Amino acid sequence: MQRQALLEGEKRGKAEGRIEGKLEGKAEVARTALGEGLDIDMVCKITGLSRETIMKLKKALEN
């Protein structure tokens, strides 16, 4: 029973890590695209990230 719980926790942790990695990759693409002057709507379309997220990334780049 305890082994099963450990395996399930490990499985869940790996899945969360993959999701976080994908999101960070998309954010990096967005930062690069914004740095190259691409329009926010185009960055949203390319990355699949929300406009709100792109705006936060853009603001962070400007600081």
- Residues in Cβ contact with 58 at an 8 Å cutoff, skipping those fewer than 6 apart: 34, 40
For 9-43, give one letter per residue: b (16+ CB within 10 A) or e: eeeeeeeeeeeeeeeeebbeebbebbeeeeeeeeb
Of the pLDDT bands very low, low, confident and very high (cuts 50, 70, 90), residue 1 is: confident
Of the pLDDT bands very low, low, confident and very high (cuts 50, 70, 90), residue 30 is: very high
Of the pLDDT bands very low, low, confident and very high (cuts 50, 70, 90), residue 8 is: confident
Pairwise CA distance, residues 6 & 29, whole Å = 35
Q: Which residue has the tokens 């002057």?
A: 37
pLDDT of residue 16: 85
**12: phi then psi, degrees, rounded to nearest 5:** -65, -40
Task: State the pTM of this model.
Answer: 0.79
